[in-house]
Amino acid sequence: MDTLLTAEIVANSPQFRRKSSIFVDAIHDLPEKADLAPAQLYSTESGRLFHSGRIVIITVGLPARGKTHMSVALARYLRWLGVKTRIFHLGDYRRATIPFGEDMPDDYFYVNATASSVLLRQKIVRKCREDIYHFLNHENGQIAIYDAVNPLASGRRSLAKEFAKHDIETLFIESWCDDEKIIEENVRRVKISSPDYVSWTPEDAVQHYLTRISSRIPQFQTMEEKDLNYIKMINAGERLIVNNRSFGYLSNRIVFYLLNLHIKSRRTYFARAGVSVDADSYKADASLSDQGEDYAKKMTECLMAHRESEKQAMIDRGESGYELRPLKVWTSTRRRTVETARYLYERGYKVRQRSQMSQLNPGVCEKMSEKKIRAEFADEVAKHELDPYHHRYPRAESYHDLAVRLEPIILELEREENDLLIIAHESVLRVLYGYLMACNAADIPFLEFPRDEIIEIIPESYQNEASRIHIPDLPEEIIPASPEDLKIPVPPSGVVSPIQGLGSPPDGQGTPQSGYRTPSGIRTPREPERISQQHVEDVV
Amino acid sequence: MPSTTADHITTPSHSSSFNLRSVQSDESRICVVMVGLPARGKSLIAGKAMRYLAWVGIPAKVFNVGTYRRSNTPQPQATFFDPHNEEGERMRRAAAESAVSDMINWFHDDESKGVVAILDATNSTKERRKWIFEKCRDADIETLFVESICDDEDLIMNNILEVKTDSPDYKGQDPELAALDFRKRIRNYEKAYETIDDNEKQYTYVKLINVGSTVIINQIKDYLSSRLVYYIQNLHIKPRSIWLSRHGESEYNLTGKIGGDSNISERGEAYARALPSLLRKSGVPPNTKIVIWTSTLKRTIQTARHLKAETGFEKLEWKALDELDSGVCDSLTYEEIADKYPEDFKARDDDKYNYRYRGGESYRDVVIRLEPIIMELERSENVIIVTHQAVLRCIYSYFLNVPQEKSPWMEVPLHTLIKLTPRAYGTEEKRFKADIPAVSTWRGRGLLRSIRSFPLRGRRMRRVLDGLVAFVGVGVVGLNGFIGGSSIPKYCNFEL
């Protein structure tokens, strides 16, 4: 086969796309410069954290066991912690190597495959592995996630040996499932949306897919290798078995994260709190104003209508009897966020208050005008402009502080199995959105959540998707900025696209030159974003 | 429509008090139930988990069933633990009942605000576990079973000799006889022991097999449990010690400046040279490997230099061990700070634990950044840490359970090596003073500099004394001359 030439494999290997918009989940991005870690607490001189060295996480499990979902979620969390992490999906390499339209050989996964299939397999794996070495050795990477089936113990042992030769630790994570329901749901959700199954009924498609897997990969050995470091996740986190040969800090931390992860798909909505009576005061913790009440009502109606239409759309698509997941509401303990949830509460939805979700503490800048801040804290303003993510005003919190404080919320967010509406201050929404969409930390302080939009985030196994739902008929003056927000330099609120060059203060343009918040609050109209999935799921 | 459970729901609306009654704890309440034969490190794990939780600010308490039983039978014979000994069985059951009922009261007591209780007993039968599970469920408390399984005979015997012969049950008895009796006691437990198995898979549990080399984690249902499991997973029960030392006296110490990255002074260098022999003097078992940890600042690296050269021990530098960042006050003397930032100076005295320097850190911030250090320390065996005053206070407080309001005021003198050895019933502390003079960097609350603000009045003074007494209570060194007023330190810089 001509396609086996290594040169071609190199030419065809997956290209990581560059980040183009903050509305795209950046989890598969290759940042050009050193990442600014959202919640990094400190680093060591090597740039790698916790004296942990370099680790390859190797997934193990048949298709439709949630491996890709787990890899992506884990990468998201590790990057959030500041650990330089990248995912290598072997499937991407396979697809890049086998020409479009051509099937892989039937015996591709067989133990006793033909020579040509073995060769093909080896070449694909080799290219993937070379990329992993390059990332860990030359790009200061700390964790590479190698996402593949790895069905045989012998193969796993030789992988571990191979990486050990390069002084790289291995940690295997197996997704193991004996609950047919979980497997079926997974197949339905991520596997049979492919063009191959267009005219099939979901039931037939699931059956066909599962039969194909078992004929393709007849042999699968669950992990029992006591000499390897592994974590076996049983039935999507119901039980974890940890075989700890030499777990370091990060491996234990990964177990901690996995204990909070599930593979169910659910939506997260973000909404702002309504305007309050004494909006500028942080300490006053005022109640909603009449306009705020009006907003709370309209936001609730809008969300309800949206969910109803989503449900209808699913039923129209042939999923008769489709039910939405129940909705839960989280608010901070601040009065106006709780009061914004009132109409949802009256409709019978559970409302939970989370003390960690209170807004960025503005410190001494509370109630001060921008002009006054500039006059009184000129040096602080200058520092802030250089690093808006880490800088804190006197007695205030930085976004970094807020991110560290929000870590329990992030883990509970992963743990939650119901749809979730988060009503919080813009600063909190920025940080949570930054986590879910893997935003560069430098962009986080500038993310925008105008009051007339509810953000909806839908997790797909390969990446998250964000879209914005417009809340109609709100008075113009409550929409653009946050009246209760910090009166500190922020870019013009008319800016919609990500602000170019924000992350590169060295060129002397730490923040946009074009002035700060425009008083008129004019915004460019925007279409709801929906980014189509670029990664095609494996139909093995 | 979603059902409503009382717990995390806001109160009905309509009134203006819509949000007022709703500020409630969103943490679940958890009873950690230890499971395992004696000498498997249960008390050690229980005690450590309790200290860890307290250290991160979560109210936690250990309920040791043995203590309840002991109040009736202070020093029982092994036969007392024979499951066929009805009298013994009845008394042990009664002890468990009083412990569980005290625990539930503790959870419901508004003053203690209990979040995590740890029930330390063998809880070795399914029947007993079911009983505890139901008791807790009825009281709206989650249960987390933590089973420690160990079949390494050496480790068990070691644990018996190291730990159990210190146990209150054997106070004043011959250690050899005590160990023998204890092995008998274990055999009695073994007769009735049932490990957690698939019939109990509805429970949330963790099984630690042979000191965490295999861990099975089942049905974790909330964040706090996952965090506890994460912590417990890092623990081991092998005997070891941890040594703590500040850096040798620095040039900044001499001039009374705080922070910075200065070199050590001549006397500091003398301490660095004396450190290897001081460590030996503190008692290091033969063939013990110790890892040296320092911060990334010059003064700690210089202090550990000779130790590393003489012993060849491995050394790691941690940014997380760097001194509390004093922001704009870095490299100032206390007098300059009081001059330039009088309000800050006062704010810091009022709440030192939470006070955050402008552009710098608070003690609370330091505790957060030390989390990986604590986890790593728990995973490690023998470690000597050369670091800075504020960081050392935080680490020390973790091991010796010093409350947040006292830890920032603790005195940790220069040129002193502290040896901590974890034991089942607490951490043993020994201090070894190098005979090398150094300035004191300790500043009492309200003190600007040395004698000028002395004496303190009333309540404030008492609080200072409380802090000192607590500090002495766990240590073996005496106070410096401060209380007696005989040798007020000449330099009393504004310490971090």
DSSP B156-219: HHHHHHHTGGGSGGGTTS-HHHHHHHHHHHHHHHHHH-----GGGTTS-EEEEETTTTEEEEE-
Lowest mean pLDDT among A399-408, B118-127, B480-489: B480-489
Q: Is B137 annotated as a binding residue?
A: no
Confidence of residue B91 (pLDDT cuts 50, 70, 90): confident
Which residue among B142, B323, B361, B495 is the active-site one?
B323
Cis preceding linkage at B455, omega within 30: yes
Instruction: List the helix and strand counts (H, then E) for chain B.
Output: 16, 12
Range B46-60 average pLDDT: 90
Lowest mean pLDDT among A226-230, A456-460, B422-426: B422-426
Question: Rounded distance, CA A461 to CA A72, Å?
Answer: 7
Listed in sequence order, the residues at least 6 apart from A108 whose beta carbon sits closer than 8 Å to its beta carbon are A117, A120, A121, A216
Q: Is the pLDDT of residue B485 over 60?
A: no
Q: What is the DSSP pairing of strand A419-424 with strand B205-209?
A: unpaired
Interface probe with B: pick from A171, A174, A239, A256, most Cβ of B within 10 Å: A256
Measured between CB atoms, does A341 come within 8 Å of chain B? yes
Name every chain B residue with its beta carbon within 8 A of the beta carbon of A404. Answer: 368
Cβ contact, residue pair B2, A354, below 8 Å:
no
Question: Rounded distance, CA B241 to CA B418, Å?
Answer: 10
Residue A391 is predicted with a pLDDT of 82
**Which residue in chain B has the smallest CA separation from A334?**
B19
Residue A191 is predicted with a pLDDT of 73
Which of the residue ranges A278-282, B81-85, B193-197, B354-358 has the most confident prediction, judged by mean pLDDT?
A: B193-197
**Of A287, A304, A364, A332, which Cα lies nearest the Cα of A432?**
A332
Q: Rounded to a whole number, what is the distance in Å from the CA of B300 to chain A's nearest CA?
A: 16
Confidence of residue B453 (pLDDT cuts 50, 70, 90): very low
Q: Measured at the alpha carbon of residue A420, what is the angle toward residues A414 and A426, in degrees to the nearest 5?
A: 95
Lowest mean pLDDT among A133-137, A190-194, A366-370, B13-17: B13-17
- B304: exposed, middle or buried (Cβ count in 10 Å: 0-12, 13-18, 19+): buried
Residue A392 is predicted with a pLDDT of 78
Distance of CA A240 to the CA centre of its chain: 23
Q: Is the pLDDT of residue A509 over 50?
A: no
Which residue among A25, A35, A147, A419 is the active-site one?
A147
Stretch(es) of chain A classified as CATH 3.40.50.1240: 268-507
Q: A355 vs B93, which has greater pLDDT? A: B93
Q: Is the pLDDT of residue B397 over 70?
A: yes
Question: Rounded distance, CA A234 to CA B438, Å?
Answer: 58
Lowest mean pLDDT among A271-275, A436-440, B449-453: B449-453
For chain B, what percent of residues have pLDDT higher than 70?
A: 83
Domain extents for chain B?
A: 25-233, 242-474
Q: Rounded to a whole number, what is the distance in Å from the CA of B277 to chain A's nearest CA?
A: 28
Cβ contact, residue pair B233, A240, below 8 Å:
no
Cβ contact, residue pair B13, A355, below 8 Å:
no
Residue B189 is predicted with a pLDDT of 82
**Of B43, B368, B192, which Cα lies nearest the Cα of A41?**
B368
Q: Is the pLDDT of residue B75 over 90?
A: no
Q: Is B194 annotated as a binding residue?
A: no
Find out whether A230 and A173 touch, Cβ atoms under 8 Å.
yes
Q: Is the pLDDT of residue A498 over 50?
A: no
**Of A68, A228, A208, which Cα lies nearest the Cα of A149?**
A68
The one-character DSSP state at A494 is: T
Instruction: List the helix and strand counts (H, then E) for chain A.
Output: 16, 12
Lowest mean pLDDT among A251-260, A388-397, B364-373: A388-397
Measured between CB atoms, does A119 come within 8 Å of chain B? no
Residue A469 is predicted with a pLDDT of 93
Find out whether B375 and B345 touch, Cβ atoms under 8 Å.
no
Partner residues linked to B383 by β-bridges? B242, B291
Q: Is the complex ipTM more than 0.90? A: no
Partner residues linked to B63 by β-bridges? B119
Residue A514 is predicted with a pLDDT of 32
Q: Is the pLDDT of residue A3 over 80?
A: no
Residue B166 is predicted with a pLDDT of 67
Residue A327 is predicted with a pLDDT of 95
Residue A194 is predicted with a pLDDT of 64
Residue A42 is predicted with a pLDDT of 47
Mean pLDDT of all residues belonging to chain B: 80
**Of A429, A87, A423, A458, which Cα lies nearest the Cα of A264?**
A458
Which of the residue ranges B71-80, B331-340, B356-365 has the most confident prediction, judged by mean pLDDT?
A: B331-340
For chain A, what percent of residues have pLDDT higher than 90?
A: 33
Mean pLDDT of all residues belonging to chain A: 78
Which of the residue ranges A30-44, B82-96, B196-210 has the most confident prediction, judged by mean pLDDT?
A: B196-210
Residue A525 is predicted with a pLDDT of 35
Q: Is B247 annotated as a binding residue?
A: yes
Q: A112 vs A153, which has greater pLDDT? A: A153
Find out whether B127 and B100 touch, Cβ atoms under 8 Å.
no
Range A377-386 average pLDDT: 84
Residue A104 is predicted with a pLDDT of 75
Partner residues linked to B143 by β-bridges? B31
Q: B319 vs A59, which has greater pLDDT? A: A59
- B190: exposed, middle or buried (Cβ count in 10 Å: 0-12, 13-18, 19+): exposed
Q: Is the pLDDT of residue B138 over 90?
A: yes
Range A408-412 average pLDDT: 89
B247 flagged as catalytic: yes
DSSP reduced 3-state for B71: coil
What single string gives the DSSP state of each residue in A422-460?
Answer: EEE-HHHHHHHHHHHTT--GGGGGG----TTEEEEEEE-
Cβ contact, residue pair A408, B319, below 8 Å:
no
Tokens representing A271 are 């909404």
Q: Is the pLDDT of residue A256 over 50?
A: yes
**Which residue in chain B has the smallest CA separation from A328?**
B2
**Of B286, B214, B208, which Cα lies nearest the Cα of B36?**
B208
Phi, psi angle pair for A465, to nearest 5°: -120, 140
User: Which CATH superfamily hosts domain B242-474?
Assistant: Phosphoglycerate mutase-like (3.40.50.1240)
Find out whether A60 and A172 touch, Cβ atoms under 8 Å.
yes
Residue B447 is predicted with a pLDDT of 63
Confidence of residue A144 (pLDDT cuts 50, 70, 90): very high
Confidence of residue A428 (pLDDT cuts 50, 70, 90): very high
Residue A314 is predicted with a pLDDT of 84
Tokens representing A44 are 């060591």
Cβ contact, residue pair A252, B375, below 8 Å:
yes
What single string gives the DSSP state of each residue in B432-470?
Answer: EE-S----B----TT-SSGGGGPSP-HHHHHHHHHHHHH
Range A372-378 average pLDDT: 84
The model's pLDDT over A81-134, given as tens digits with 9 standing for 90+, comes to 878 889 999 988 888 887 766 777 877 777 778 888 888 888 899 999 999 999
Q: B76 vs B278, which has greater pLDDT? A: B278
Stretch(es) of chain A classified as CATH 3.40.50.300: 2-11+51-179+221-258
Question: Rounded distance, CA A468 to CA A453, Å?
Answer: 6
Residue B169 is predicted with a pLDDT of 75
Listed in sequence order, the residues at least 6 apart from B16 whose beta carbon sits closer than 8 Å to its beta carbon are A287
CB contacts < 8 A, A to B, total: 144
Interface probe with B: pick from A81, A242, A351, A380, most Cβ of B within 10 Å: A242
User: Which CATH superfamily hosts domain B25-233?
Assistant: P-loop containing nucleotide triphosphate hydrolases (3.40.50.300)
For chain B, what percent of residues have pLDDT higher than 90?
A: 43
Cβ contact, residue pair B368, A41, below 8 Å:
yes
Name every chain A residue with its beta carbon within 8 A of the beta carbon of B376. Answer: 50-51, 249
Q: A46 vs A384, which has greater pLDDT? A: A384
Residue A38 is predicted with a pLDDT of 54
Cβ contact, residue pair A415, B223, below 8 Å:
yes
Measured between CB atoms, does A33 come within 8 Å of chain B? no
Question: Rounded distance, CA A95 to CA A309, Å?
Answer: 36
Name every chain B residue with its beta carbon within 8 A of the beta carbon of A421. Answer: none
Lowest mean pLDDT among A394-408, A486-500, B176-190: A486-500
For chain A, what percent of residues have pLDDT higher than 70?
A: 77
Q: Is the pLDDT of residue A505 over 50?
A: no
The CATH code that applies to domain A268-507 is 3.40.50.1240
Q: Rounded to a whole number, what is the distance in Å from the CA of A246 to chain B's nearest CA?
A: 9
Interface probe with B: pick from A238, A244, A323, A393, most Cβ of B within 10 Å: A244
Find out whether A340 and A269 touch, Cβ atoms under 8 Å.
no
Cβ contact, residue pair A238, B1, below 8 Å:
no
Q: In this complex, which of B26, B214, B222 lies closest to A242 when CB atoms are compared? A: B214
CATH fold match for the domains B25-233 and B242-474: yes
The strands making up B142-149's β-sheet, listed across from edge to edge, are A85-89, A143-147, A55-60, A169-176, A230-234, A239-243, B214-218, B205-209, B142-149, B30-35, B116-120, B60-64
Range A224-251 average pLDDT: 92
Q: A195 vs A456, which has greater pLDDT? A: A456
Residue A284 is predicted with a pLDDT of 66
The model's pLDDT over B171-230, given as tens digits with 9 standing for 90+, comes to 778 877 888 888 888 888 888 899 999 999 999 999 999 877 899 999 998 888 998 999
Q: Which CATH architecture has domain A2-11+51-179+221-258?
A: 3-Layer(aba) Sandwich (3.40)
Cβ contact, residue pair B8, A353, below 8 Å:
yes
Residue A362 is predicted with a pLDDT of 78
**Of B305, B288, B292, which Cα lies nearest the Cα of B244?**
B292
Measured between CB atoms, does A127 come within 8 Å of chain B? no
